[in-house]
C-alpha cells in the first residue's frame, strides 16, 4: 500500500469536509447582521448542534499534515504563520460569542452577535488568504498578496453561499425568503473566486499549465468547468424559482452549492498532484518514515469511523427545520 498517497487522500477529504461543513456555519455567522433579532435566534439554532463538531475536520486535516508530511507542515505553516494565528483568533472569538450570547440581554446580546459575525468573517477571510498564498507557491510581492486578499474576500462570499443555502434548507417563512437572495449574492462571489484560482494556478506553475492545456490530450478536463457552471446555474435557477413560487426548494440549492465546492476542490487537487507544496515538495518527498506512517494508519483506521459515524448520527438526530428558541 502506498501510504503517502493514502494519507494525501485522507488529508484532502478532511479539508473538503471542513470547508463544506464549517463553511456553512461560518457563512451563517457572516449573515447575522442582515437578520432581525428573532431571525438571528433561528440562524443560531440552525447551526448550534453542528458547528463545534464541524471543526473536528480541520483538526484532523492539520494533524495528518503534521504527522504524515512533517516537512511540508514546516514549510506550509511557516509561510502561513500570521494568517493561521489570525484564523485561530477568529475561531476562538466566534466560539466565545456563541456561548455568551445565550445569557446576554439587550445591547449585550447585540454586541456578542456582532462579535460572532467578526469571528466568522476573520476565520473565513484568513482561510481564503491562506488558499491564495498556497496556490501561488508563497511567492513574495505586492501582486501575490493582493491576489491572496481577493481570494480571501471571494471565499467569504463562497461561505455566504453555503450558509444561505443551509438556511434555505433549515428555515422557513421570511428568513428563508431572505436566504434565497443571500444565496444569489454569494454565488457571484463564488464565480469570482473560482475564476481567480483557475487563472492564477496555471500562471504560477508550468506543471499545472501542462496538465490543463496540453490539448487534445487534456480536452476531457473541460468537464470540470462545465460541471461547475452547471451547478452554479442550478443554484441560480432553483433560487429564482423559489422566489417566484414562495417555496424554498429545501435541499436542492445546498446540494448544488456543495457540488460547486467539491468540483472546484477536485480540479485544484488534480492541478497540484503529486505536490504537497506546489512545484517544490511531492507527497513522497515530504512523507514521514514508513514506520511512522504504518502506526499512523492504524490509528486512522480506529478513529475515522467514530468521527464519520458521529457526524452522520448528529445530522440525523437534529434534522428538520430549526427552532428559534433552541439556544435562548
Would you kindly state where each structural domain of the chain is located, as residue ranges? 3-317
pLDDT of residue 243: 65
Q: How many CB atoms lie within 10 A of CB 233?
A: 12
For the chain, what percent of residues have pLDDT higher than 70? 95
| CA-wise closest residue to 199 among 209, 188, 207 | 209
Q: What percent of the chain has pLDDT above 90?
A: 14
Burial call 4-23: b when 16+ CB within 10 Å, e when fewer:
beebbebbbbbbbbbbbbbb
H-run or E-run covering 80: none
184-200, pLDDT tens digit by residue? 888 888 888 888 777 77
pLDDT exceeds 60 at position 115: yes
Q: Give me the sign of the Cα torsion angle 139, 142, 143, 149.
A: positive
Place of cell 483538526: 59
Q: Quick one: pLDDT at residue 248? A: 54
Euclidean distance between CA atoms 313 and 289, whole angstroms: 36
More confident residue, 89 or 271: 89
Sign (positive or negative) of CA dihedral 47, 50, 51, 57? negative
Q: How far apart are alpha carbons 141 and 136 in whole angstroms?
A: 11
**pLDDT, tens digit (0-9, with 9 covering 90-100), for 1-40:** 688 899 999 999 999 999 999 899 899 999 988 888 888 8
For the residues 63-69, what does the mean pLDDT come to? 87
Asked if residue 249 lies in contact with residue 242, where contact means CB atoms within 8 angstroms, the answer is yes
Average pLDDT, the chain: 85
pLDDT tier for residue 272 given thresholds of 50, 70 and 90: confident
Q: State the average pLDDT over residues 268-294.
A: 86
- Reduce the DSSP state of residue 172 to 3 states and report it: coil
Contact between 201 and 208 under an 8 Å Cβ cutoff? The reply is: yes
Amino acid at each position: 500500500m502506498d501510504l503517502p498517497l493514502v494519507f494525501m487522500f485522507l488529508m484532502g477529504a478532511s479539508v473538503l469536509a471542513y470547508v463544506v461543513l464549517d463553511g456553512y456555519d461560518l457563512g451563517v455567522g457572516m449573515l447575522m447582521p442582515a437578520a432581525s433579532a428573532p431571525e438571528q435566534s433561528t440562524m443560531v439554532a440552525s447551526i448550534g448542534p453542528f458547528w463545534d463538531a464541524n471543526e473536528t475536520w480541520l483538526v484532523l486535516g492539520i494533524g495528518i499534515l503534521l504527522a504524515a508530511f512533517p516537512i511540508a507542515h514546516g514549510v506550509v505553516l511557516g509561510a502561513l504563520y500570521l494568517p493561521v494565528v489570525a484564523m485561530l483568533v477568529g475561531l476562538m472569538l466566534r466560539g466565545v460569542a456563541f456561548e455568551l450570547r445565550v445569557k446576554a440581554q439587550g445591547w449585550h446580546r447585540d454586541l456578542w452577535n456582532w462579535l460572532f459575525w467578526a469571528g466568522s468573517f476573520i476565520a473565513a477571510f484568513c482561510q481564503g488568504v491562506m488558499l491564495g498564498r498556497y496556490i501561488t507557491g508563497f511567492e513574495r510581492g505586492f501582486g501575490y498578496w493582493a491576489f491572496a486578499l481577493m481570494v480571501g474576500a471571494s471565499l467569504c462570499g463562497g461561505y455566504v453561499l453555503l450558509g444561505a443555502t443551509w438556511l434555505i434548507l433549515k428555515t422557513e417563512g421570511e428568513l428563508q425568503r431572505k436566504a434565497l437572495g443571500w444565496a444569489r449574492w454569494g454565488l457571484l462571489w463564488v464565480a469570482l473566486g473560482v475564476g481567480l484560482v483557475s487563472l492564477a494556478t496555471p500562471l504560477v506553475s508550468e506543471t499545472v499549465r501542462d496538465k490543463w492545456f496540453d490539448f487534445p490530450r487534456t480536452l476531457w478536463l473541460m468537464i470540470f468547468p462545465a460541471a461547475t457552471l452547471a451547478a452554479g446555474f442550478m443554484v441560480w435557477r432553483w433560487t429564482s424559482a423559489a422566489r417566484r413560487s414562495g417555496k424554498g426548494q429545501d435541499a436542492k440549492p445546498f446540494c448544488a452549492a456543495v457540488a460547486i465546492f467539491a468540483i472546484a476542490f477536485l480540479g485544484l487537487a488534480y492541478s497540484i498532484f503529486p505536490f504537497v507544496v506546489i512545484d517544490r515538495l511531492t507527497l513522497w518527498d515530504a512523507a514521514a518514515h514508513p514506520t511512522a506512517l504504518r502506526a499512523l494508519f492504524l490509528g486512522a483506521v480506529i478513529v475515522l469511523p467514530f468521527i464519520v459515524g458521529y457526524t452522520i448520527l448528529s445530522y440525523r438526530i437534529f434534522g428538520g427545520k430549526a427552532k428559534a428558541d433552541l439556544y435562548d
